[in-house]
């Protein structure tokens, strides 16, 4: 799972850096080059995973009409980047996004839609032929003849050697790129060491990491350094850790799509208390922490209501004093993989 699924509430980010008081948050309406990919992206991106009725993952489902209304609101906003995947609801998110794209007569000028090639959700097939089927299905669901940005999604589910074998998933995605069906080829996944191994192949020019670069977890730091040094376009997804940093530890005590440990809940409470002393919503600090980092070109946030679009833009613009960043930086954070036990 590698899209933001955080759905913050509240309103109310002052260009770039890592939350140490010196950088500032970029205006959410100001686009920038997506690394050396040739694409341009805004600092915020709509993550569509929670729009796919994946209740087992997110504990809530928006339903068809609310999901469509949220996508329509995004296409009428300053958030001009939308991220989806073949696996989100096994095509539900792509289909819903495609409904709105068709209503608009195509993706509007200035907007970018990215998707991800996935293993078969039933058979778990992650072969080369499956990558072609995944991409072709995505094109049909989205109503697009060309996909400008496609990620290899969650390759941690099979051995590295299987993905990179002749005729395997990576080679077929590169074939699709040469055929002109996809543009930029990216990588989206979880475990940092494995993602670094894939980055070092040189096959990818874009990256999504998720739940591993937040106020409370910095395990993706070496991955971000590696990708930035190679000029990759970088997205950071789930800046709220799938919800706890948006809704608070009492309302939503979950991190990275699973129950949060008591230690993590207490750590989030410390962050929440510090933010409260400065009159800053915890969600604003969590969002801007990601947006401020110069390695991150766009932060992917999941939203499930139309009003969340404006609320998220408000959080991105909420003034945050330098003193708050200094206090937050003094709180110890995790450097371990938040999903280390999830798939065992």
* 306 contacts 72 by C-beta, under 8 angstroms: yes
Domain boundaries, the chain: 32-329
- Give dist(CA 71, CA 20) in Å, integer: 34
What pLDDT shows up at residue 57? 74
Look at the domain 32-329 and name its fold.
TIM Barrel (3.20.20)
Cα–Cα distance for residue pair 344/342, rounded to 1 Å: 6
Q: What confidence tens digit (pLDDT) does each residue in 73-107 have?
A: 999 999 999 999 999 999 999 999 999 999 999 99
Q: Rounded to two decimals, what is the model's pTM?
A: 0.93
Give the integer Cα–Cα distance in Å for 307 and 326: 31
**Using one digit for the tens of pLDDT, what is the confidence trace for 204-221?**
999 999 999 999 999 999
Mean pLDDT (10-residue bins), the chain, 344 residues: 51 38 82 98 97 78 95 98 97 98 98 98 98 98 98 98 98 98 98 98 98 97 98 98 94 94 96 97 98 98 97 98 96 90 58
From CA 3, how far away is CA 115, in angstroms rounded?
10
Q: What's residue 112's pLDDT?
A: 98
pLDDT at position 135: 98
pLDDT value at residue 340: 82
**123: Cβ contacts below 8 Å, ≥ 6 apart:** none
């Amino acid at each position: 799972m590698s899209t933001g699924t955080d759905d913050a509430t509240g309103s109310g980010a002052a260009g770039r850096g890592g939350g140490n008081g010196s950088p500032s948050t970029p205006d959410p309406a100001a686009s920038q080059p997506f690394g050396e990919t040739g694409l341009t992206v805004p600092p915020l991106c709509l993550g569509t995973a929670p729009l796919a009725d994946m209740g087992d993952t997110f504990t809530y489902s928006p339903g068809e009409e609310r999901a469509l209304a949220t996508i329509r609101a995004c296409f009428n906003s300053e958030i001009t980047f939308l991220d989806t995947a073949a696996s989100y609801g096994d095509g539900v998110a792509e289909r819903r996004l495609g409904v709105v794209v068709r209503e608009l007569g195509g993706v509007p000028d200035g907007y970018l839609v990215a998707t991800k090639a996935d293993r078969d959700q039933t058979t778990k097939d992650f072969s080369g032929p499956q990558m072609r089927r995944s991409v072709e299905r995505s094109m049909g669901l989205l109503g697009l003849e060309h996909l400008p940005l496609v990620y290899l999604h969650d390759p941690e589910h099979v051995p590295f050697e299987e993905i990179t074998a002749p005729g395997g998933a990576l080679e077929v995605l590169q074939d699709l790129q040469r055929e002109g069906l996809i543009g930029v080829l990216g990588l989206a996944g979880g475990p940092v060491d494995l993602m670094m191994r894939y980055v070092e192949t040189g096959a990818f020019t874009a990256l999504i990491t998720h739940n591993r670069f937040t106020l409370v977890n910095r395990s993706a730091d070496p991955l971000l350094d590696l990708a930035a040094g190679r000029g990759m376009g970088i997205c950071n997804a789930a800046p709220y850790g799938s919800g706890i940093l948006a809704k608070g530890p009492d309302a939503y005590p979950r991190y990275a799509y699973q129950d949060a440990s008591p230690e993590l809940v207490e750590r989030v409470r410390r962050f929440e208390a510090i933010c409260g002393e400065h009159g800053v919503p915890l969600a604003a600090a969590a969002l801007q922490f990601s947006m401020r980092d110069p390695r991150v070109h766009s932060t992917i946030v999941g939203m499930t209501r139309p009003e969340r679009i404006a609320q998220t833009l408000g959080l991105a613009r909420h003034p945050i004093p330098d003193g708050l960043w200094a206090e937050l930086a003094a709180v110890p954070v995790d450097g371990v993989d938040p999903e280390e036990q999830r798939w065992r």
